[in-house]
A = this chain, B = another copy of it.
Amino acid sequence: MLPRGRPRALGAATLLLLLVVVVGFFLFGRDPEYGLQAAATLDGDPYGSRNRSTSNLQPLLPPKCELLHVAIVCAGHNSSREVITLVKSVLFYRKNPLHLHLVTDAVARSILETLFRTWMVPAVTIRFYDAEELKPLISWIPNKHYSGLYGLMKLVLPSILPLSLARVVVLDTDVTFSSDIAELWALFAHFSGEAPATLPWPAPSPTCPGPCCVLTLSHSPEAAPSCPPLPDKQVIGLVENQSDWYLGNLWKNHKPWPALGRGFNTGVILLQLDRLRQSGWEQMWKLMAKRELLTLQATSLADQDVFNAVIKEHPELVHPLPCVWNVQLSDHTLAERCYLEAADLKVIHWNSPKKLRVKNKHAEFFRNLHLTFLGYDGNLLRRELFGCPSQLPAEAEQLQQAMAQLDEEEPCFEFRQQQLTMHRVHITFLPHRPPPPQPHDVTLVAQLSMDRLQMLEALCRHWPGPMSLALYLTDAEAQQFLHFVETSPVLSARKDVAYHIVYREGPLYPVNQLRNVALAQALTPYVFLSDIDFLPAYSLYDYLRASIEQLELSSLQRKAALVVPAFETLHYRFSFPNSKAELLTLLDAGSLYTFRYHEWPQGHAPTDYARWREAQAPYRVQWAADYEPYVVVPRDCPRYDPRFVGFGWNKVAHIIELDAQEYELLVLPEAFSIHLPHAPSLDISRFRSSPTYRDCLQAFKEEFHQDLSRRYGAAALKYLTALQLSQSRA
């Protein structure tokens, strides 16, 4: 699509382009080495090398609003993290709208669906393809590569992508961009057989089939004129392999799949889908794979083996890309020959199972590029493309409008802005094994930020069951968190703890939004709604499951909230009681208190600690103003009210909601959990001291009560009365 017409300018431009083409052909005929720069190979001249000036003579970029298509295969938790870093690098440099075609398993789909829905990046559309459905198409191919079956799925992309799609860039999850993907897209124009209108520069190579020819050329430029004329069949753009794997001399009896010379790497592929389909790609690659599998037991490098086998047989299909578009950082890489000469690296490929830990004397340099995007604040990528029609998702558009309607001068503006903020969410950030379905199982639900990470190990020791934790972090902190878990034997052993990253945005801690994220991801029938600075009794997990069973909560569909009495210690060195008896001793000795006994007794008074001391069986208690016990409820319980951001009243409102929906409040006689002391968080101290904070909190309480009356009518009256009573006392 051409932009708004300007006939004269356009004519002039076309004329210029034609002239450039003429000059190019002229050059090409006389000095193939120079003309061949775009087809640079390992031994040749990388794209734009030696003299930076030449790198300006690049292919034409697509018009600024043209949609570019990218396909990626992604499965599992770790690949999902990788793909997000890749996408961040692409978005950082991109200036075009993007359509991502993501072939995913169920895990990656659920992660990436949530992520992109909450990320709301303008001018990015996503379509998912179910990897499960593709498995039968490729599962007959034995594969020894670490990517497993998923590694082979790139082969079937021409069959599964929409027929209307003519071109796509295919990327491995372990690549990082350091340039605008439109420059890569522009290389489609170099494929032989492209119409001259989009081919401003001479199709640079190969003038004879396959990279062998290019290699020869760059070693002895005189060989060029003897090459056969250009065929019109180039359908796959690839960078040559930067290792000797396919030469078959890495070790004794090393038998790689067939390839032209060093073969090609499939971490970055340009696929001319329309022509591939026309040329019977599906039959072609299957035939080739079957033939090779007669003598070779399995693929070693997944799809790459098959692509190379096809190309060896049909070298006219391949369009070699400049090496900078896939700088391969495996252990025995020859990439140095490429990047030491290049003016500019375009794409880095971590194609070693060691990934960032690969040995390479310039590894530090490449890691730095990658770390840039690992820690990059993804929120900053929510940038519009100026001059292209707005392409925000509907939800984002609505939010933007609601935001625009806020009054900046209103005293609670900052709160309302925070309430409306859609935080980017990365669910199950780390590998996670869902708990096996059990009718009485309980997930501990909590939220935290960086300053409470050190609670996690203790929590794991106290709670052997499943947990769903929301972490409020920056992108950089998420990486620190990852490292923290990986280096903790206690944490890395626990695959039943799901960590959901909610990315930081705005000045107030969105406590209830975090709780709702963690709650929504709990997979057991019951949840224990706790806070991160509480340690449950060692026996609590077992005791809760037994109680749920004994109380027949699930079978009777009894609507109950089981109260876990809360205590606190003011000592930070503290020996945790092993039983209720030990707890009572500590309580009597003044080493423990009931929670917030000194500052906020009404928060837990209705639990009736005196009765609890003696209780042998669960007992029912009544709601009262400001009650905020820690409870165990069914997973489908009401959500937390996200209007309470920062601190204050976030749990109180939830308990009111439970009471309004007629949950029985049952205190468990053997349950307890203990709050550990900690320095006040920055977020708390910043806002607790502000009078605006108190005024706004009051306003939100009143709005909450209005909503209650609307939903529960007269039944909600008691909450309002209680509120007014407590205010008149204050």
Contacts and interface: CB of A to CB of B under 8 A. Distances in A.
A34 B50 contact: no
A573 interface: yes
Interface of A: 2-4, 6, 8-10, 12-13, 15-16, 19-20, 23-24, 26-27, 30-31, 33-34, 50-58, 60-64, 95, 182, 200, 339-344, 362, 365, 368-369, 371-372, 375-377, 379-384, 386-387, 450-451, 453-455, 457, 474, 476, 484, 487-488, 570-573, 598, 676-682, 685-686
A51 B3 contact: yes
Nearest to A11: B31
Contacts of A488: 686
B34 A63 contact: no
Nearest to A51: B3
A476 B685 CA distance: 21
A109 B408 CA distance: 39
Contact of A13 (B3, B20, B54, B371): B54
B487 A686 contact: yes
Given A343-B64, A476-B474, A6 B679 contact: no
Contacts of A598: 573
B677 A572 contact: yes
Contact of A677 (B6, B9, B677): B677
A576 to B, nearest CB: 15
Contacts of A4: 50
Contacts of A383: 365, 368-369
A691 to B, nearest CB: 13
A613 B568 CA distance: 34
Given A19-B23, A95-B343, A570-B571, A454 B33 contact: no
Nearest to A684: B454
B342 A386 contact: yes
A340 B474 CA distance: 31
7 contacts: A13-B51, A13-B54, A20-B23, A52-B63, A484-B682, A487-B686, A571-B571
A188 to B, nearest CB: 14
A365 B384 contact: yes
A599 B12 CA distance: 83
A627 B670 CA distance: 47
Given A50-B3, A454-B682, A487-B686, A344 B31 contact: no
B13 A341 contact: no
B31 A9 contact: yes
A386 B340 contact: yes
* 9 cross-chain pairs, A with B, having the tightest CB-CB distances, nearest first: A9-B34, A368-B380, A53-B60, A572-B677, A52-B64, A12-B27, A52-B61, A3-B51, A16-B23
Which of A6, A9, A344, A376 has the most B CB atoms < 10 Å from its CB?
A9
Contacts of A182: 52
Nearest to A16: B23
Contacts of A3: 50-51
Contacts of A484: 682, 686
Contacts of A64: 51-52, 343
A433 to B, nearest CB: 25
Nearest to A60: B53
B377 A377 contact: no
B340 A52 contact: no
Contact of A27 (B16, B50, B455): B16
Given A572-B677, A678-B678, A679-B454, A372 B376 contact: yes
Contacts of A56: 56, 58, 60-61
Contacts of A51: 2-3, 10, 13, 63-64
Nearest to A365: B383
Given A10-B51, A13-B51, A20-B20, 7 more contacts: A13-B54, A19-B23, A52-B95, A56-B56, A369-B383, A454-B680, A457-B685
